[in-house]
């Protein structure tokens, strides 16, 4: 017999599986158990089987605990209890860039990982041509940026003086995020901002050119507020679009993806977190990241919604 279920259902139904013994337990999209403390991870680790497999195309995003959690499903105990793993591998590798610890971890895990590269299995996939477009801030946008830059810098220096660098990470990250938002469009958080955005103006020009050339576009942003501003701009043009974020229902996602791949509408607006995985959008031949993400592997994953099997 074969049982097919989802992470969402297994959390609810795990009690039904406790007395069952399977030949194999196979996880697809295994990144869903990357947090060992999550209900997803705890539930699937309760399934009893003779053999365990995990499949994922999603890179490690935040820390080596994500790798540990998947191995804790595959071979509990093999990479030691989490505390020991952290002391022996995670801290030396991440904090100290310890090459010896990294080599030793690789030696432990390599025999159990079968890695398949896209270049090995998709010889016919068209090449990916990447370009970075640098855009100047508008005069008003630059005034806002410089004012906030000065304010954030003073706040961060004060935080570091009082709490030390190690305890100021959140404030630093928040400040950098605010500056990134100003580069996207100051009206993301400044009410009644009556200026424009160099980046948004450049985007609209690019989208117009792409439409004229009959190109179809996936457009990612980490900020849903940015996507809403882009929607307002697109509503003033003849460029048609679909929009998807974390609140979009699963059945609506399916319908939109199918319609887009069948040739309907010009642009697909997607929030990076909602659409970085699990979507097949080969109907697009162009991907735009409106704002770069901290982790380039996450960007790559999002781009691969289009650059994959079926792309011509």
Closest alpha carbon to 239 in 203, 273, 274, 275: 203
Question: What pLDDT, on a 0 to 100 scale, did the predictor assign at position 140?
Answer: 94
- Interval 44-71: pLDDT, tens: 999 999 999 999 887 777 789 999 999 9
Question: What pLDDT, on a 0 to 100 scale, did the predictor assign at position 191?
Answer: 87
User: Residue 248: phi, psi to the nearest 5?
Assistant: -70, 130
Question: What pLDDT, on a 0 to 100 scale, did the predictor assign at position 5?
Answer: 95
Does the pLDDT of residue 290 top 80, yes or no? yes
- Interval 157-169: pLDDT, tens: 998 998 888 888 8
Does the pLDDT of residue 77 top 80, yes or no? yes
Q: Residues 265-273: what's their mean pLDDT? A: 94
Reading phi first (left if > 0) and then psi (alpha if -120 to 50, else beta), residue 247 is in alpha
Residue 99: band (very low, low, confident or very high) from pLDDT cuts 50, 70, 90: very high
Q: Residues 24-28: what's their mean pLDDT? A: 96
- Interval 124-146: pLDDT, tens: 888 889 999 999 999 999 999 99
Q: pLDDT exceeding 70 applies to what percent of the chain?
A: 100
Give the 3-state DSSP-derived string for the chain, with helices as H, strands as E and coil as C.
CCCCCCHHHHHHHHHHHCCCEEEEEEECCHHHHCCCCCHHHHHHCCCEEEEEEECCCCCCCCCCHHHHHHHHHHCCCCCCCHHHHHHHHHHHHHHHCCHHHHHHHHHHHHHHCCCCCHHHHCCCCCCCCCCCCCCCCCHHHHHHHHHHHHHHHHHHHHHHHHHCCHHHHHHHHHHHHHHHHHHHCHHHCCCCCCCCCHHHHHHHHHHHHHHHCCCCEEEEECCHHHHHHHHHHHCCCCCCEEEECCCCCHHHHHHHHHHHHCCCCCEEEEEHHHHCCCCCCCCCCEEEECCCCCCHHHHHHHHCCCCCCCCC
Does the pLDDT of residue 118 top 80, yes or no? no
Does the pLDDT of residue 277 top 80, yes or no? no
- Interval 191-241: pLDDT, tens: 889 889 999 999 999 999 999 999 999 999 999 999 999 999 999 999 999
How many whole angstroms separate alpha carbon 167 and alpha carbon 61?
22
Q: Residues 77-98: what's their mean pLDDT? A: 93
């Amino acid at each position: 017999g074969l049982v097919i279920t989802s992470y969402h259902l297994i959390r609810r139904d795990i009690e039904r599986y406790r007395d069952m013994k399977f030949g194999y337990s196979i996880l697809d999209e295994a990144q869903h158990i990357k947090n060992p403390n999550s209900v997803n991870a705890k539930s699937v680790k309760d399934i009893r089987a003779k053999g365990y497999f995990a499949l994922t195309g999603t890179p490690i995003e935040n820390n080596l605990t994500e790798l540990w959690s998947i191995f804790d499903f595959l071979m509990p105990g093999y990479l030691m209890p989490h505390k020991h793993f952290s002391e022996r591998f995670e801290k030396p590798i991440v904090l100290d860039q310890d090459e010896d610890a990294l080599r030793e971890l690789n030696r432990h895990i390599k025999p159990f990982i079968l890695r398949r590269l896209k270049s090995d299995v998709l010889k016919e996939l068209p090449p990916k041509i990447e370009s970075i477009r640098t855009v100047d801030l508008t005069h008003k946008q630059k005034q806002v940026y410089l004012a906030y830059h000065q304010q954030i810098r003073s706040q961060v220096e004060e935080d570091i003086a009082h709490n030390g660098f190690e305890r100021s990470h959140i404030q630093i990250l928040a400040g950098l995020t605010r500056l990134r938002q100003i580069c996207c469009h100051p009206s993301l958080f400044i009410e009644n901002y009556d200026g424009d955005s160099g980046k948004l103006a450049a985007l609209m020009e690019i989208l117009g050119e792409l439409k004229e050339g009959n190109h179809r576009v996936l457009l990612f942003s980490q900020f849903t507020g940015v996507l809403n501003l882009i929607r307002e701009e697109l509503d003033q043009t003849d460029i048609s679009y679909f929009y998807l974020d974390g609140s979009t229902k699963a059945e609506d996602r399916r319908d939109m993806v199918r319609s887009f791949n069948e040739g309907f509408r010009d642009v697909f607006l997607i929030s990076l977190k909602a659409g970085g995985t699990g979507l097949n959008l080969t109907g697009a031949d162009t991907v735009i990241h409106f704002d770069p993400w901290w982790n380039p592997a996450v960007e790559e994953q999002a781009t691969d919604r289009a650059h994959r099997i079926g792309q011509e």
